Amino acid sequence: MDKNYSLSSMMRTGAFRFNPVLVQCVALCPVVAATQNLKDAFFIALAVFAHILVSSFAASLMLRKVSRPVRVAVYLILGLLLICPVLWLIEFKTLINLSFTMRVFLPLVAINSATAVHCETFAVKNDVRTAVYDALAAGTGIGIVMIICGALREIIGSGSILGRTLNFKFTLPAMAMPAGCLVLLGFGAAALQAFTAKRTAEKPARKETSAQPEEIELEVDGDFEPEQVDLDLTIENDDEYAYLLSSVNELIDSFTNKDEEGDEE
């Protein structure tokens, strides 16, 4: 089922119009539980993006003829091989301090539903380039939602951004909880639906062309007057046809005379 898809069209469709989180409702667990602030949301989004990209590439290139349970196990193994070493490098080889939430949820990204959905419904049925395009679109859509939720939850819930206090007079600590993220996702899904409906309504409607009969004009060369048409039935030098013609004329005259006699009576 290989088709020709362009990256721009798949980005519009996969990342925005049919956003994996707001429309397809996949990857909700990492979005709700691990986006309490912008920093955590960024790392989770990066991990999901890398996992879905690598898994889609492998599914399209090598796993088409493998049974589904084996493919799902391979996605899990690829996720663990990709995320766990990165988590170890961040923890021990950099100055970045990860929160407890990040230490728990980063390995769990290896079994997120977004990877399984896109690999099983799209990647294994299309060529490698198309599968990579779909993974880029899905990863971008999920990452955008995660980063927006993380930033809004940190700003509204604690009045800060990336650990820097913004001195807000009013904060809503409930936004840092999972329920607060669900509220943001609900508003985001409604806004996306309204935007999509508005864009669809603004497209010019196609005019329906009604089939109308065309007028056909017959052109006649020269002047044509039916009253002036003269049929010349003269038969020359043919006694048999002349006799036949005279017999027909007599027959017509006999019917005419009978009609006239009937009218007089």
Q: Going residue by residue through the chain, which has 265 residues, state the pLDDT in tens, using 9 for 90 and above.
A: 445 578 888 898 889 989 999 998 888 888 998 888 898 899 899 999 999 999 999 999 999 888 989 999 999 899 888 888 888 888 787 777 777 778 888 888 888 888 888 899 899 999 999 999 999 999 999 999 999 999 999 999 888 888 788 887 788 888 888 889 999 999 999 999 999 888 888 765 544 444 455 555 555 555 545 454 444 545 455 565 566 566 666 766 666 665 555 555 5
- 89 is a domain residue: yes
Q: What pTM, to 2 d.p., does this model score? A: 0.71
Token pair, residue 54, equals 């690598």
92 in the same domain as 177: yes
Same domain, 88 and 11: yes
Domain end residue (candidates: 152, 187, 202): 202
Structurally, how many domains does the chain consist of? 2
CA dist 58 and 62 (Å) reads 6
- Does 107 map to a domain? yes
For residue 256, give its domain range: 231-264
**Is 226 a member of any domain?**
no
236 shares its domain with 130: no
- Nearest CA to 144 among 12, 19, 9? 19
CA dihedral 161, 165, 169, 172 (to 10 degrees): 50
Structural domain includes residue 225: no
> Can you list the positions of beta strands (E) in the chain?
160-161, 164-165
From 67, 48, 164, 180, select the one nearest 110 (Cα to Cα).
48
User: Do 172 and 238 sit in the same domain of this protein?
Assistant: no
46, 123: one domain? yes
